[in-house]
Amino acid sequence: MTRQMKTVAEHFPIAGSFTISRGSKTTASVVTCQISDGAFSGMGECVPYGRYGETIDSVLAEIETIRPQIEAGIDREKLRQTMKAGAARNAVDCALWDLDAKKSGSRAFALAGLAEPAPLTTAYTISLGEPEAMAAHTAQYAHRALLKIKVGTPDDASRIRAVRAAAPNSAIILDANEGWSEANLTYHFDVCAESGVALIEQPLPGGQDALLASVHRPVPVCADESVHKTEDLPNLAGLYDAVNIKLDKTGGLTEALSMRDAARTLNLKIMVGCMVGTSLGMAPAVLLAQGADFVDLDGPLLLARDREPGLRYADSLVFPPLPALWG
Query: What's phi and psi for 295, nearest 5 deg?
Result: -125, 130
User: Which burial class, exposed, middle or buried, applies to 231 when counting CB atoms under 10 A from its CB (0-12, 13-18, 19+)?
Assistant: exposed
pLDDT bracket for residue 1 (50, 70, 90): low
Closest listed residue to residue 98, CA positions, set 262, 315, 252: 252
Q: Which of 102, 148, 229, 246 is catalytic?
A: 246
The mean pLDDT of 300-312, rounded to a whole number, is: 97
Distance of CA 41 to the CA centre of its chain: 25
pLDDT bracket for residue 21 (50, 70, 90): confident
CATH of span 4-111:
3.30.390.10
CATH 3.20.20.120 domain position(s) in the chain: 120-318
Q: Which of 150, 229, 249, 269 is catalytic?
A: 150
pLDDT at 243: 98
Structure confidence by residue, pLDDT tens digits, 36-68: 999 999 999 999 999 999 999 999 999 999 999
pLDDT at 320: 98
Structure confidence by residue, pLDDT tens digits, 196-246: 999 999 999 999 999 999 999 999 999 999 999 999 999 999 999 999 999
Structure confidence by residue, pLDDT tens digits, 80-97: 999 999 999 999 999 999
150 catalytic residue (yes or no): yes
Mean pLDDT score of the chain, rounded to an integer? 96
103 catalytic residue (yes or no): no
pLDDT bracket for residue 306 (50, 70, 90): very high
Calpha distance 110→72 (Å, rounded): 25
Q: Determine the Cα angle at 302 with ends 299 and 308, to 5°.
A: 70
Residue 10 pLDDT > 80, yes or no? yes
Calpha distance 300→282 (Å, rounded): 8
User: Percentage of residues in the chain with pLDDT exceeding 70?
Assistant: 100
Structure confidence by residue, pLDDT tens digits, 116-174: 999 999 999 999 999 999 999 999 999 999 999 999 998 899 999 999 999 999 999 99
pLDDT at 155: 85
pLDDT bracket for residue 34 (50, 70, 90): very high
CATH 3.30.390.10 domain position(s) in the chain: 4-111
C-alpha pair distances (Å), 312 with each of 156, 257, 300, 315 = 34, 23, 10, 10
Q: Does domain 120-318 have CATH number 3.20.20.120?
A: yes
The pTM assigned to this predicted structure is 0.96
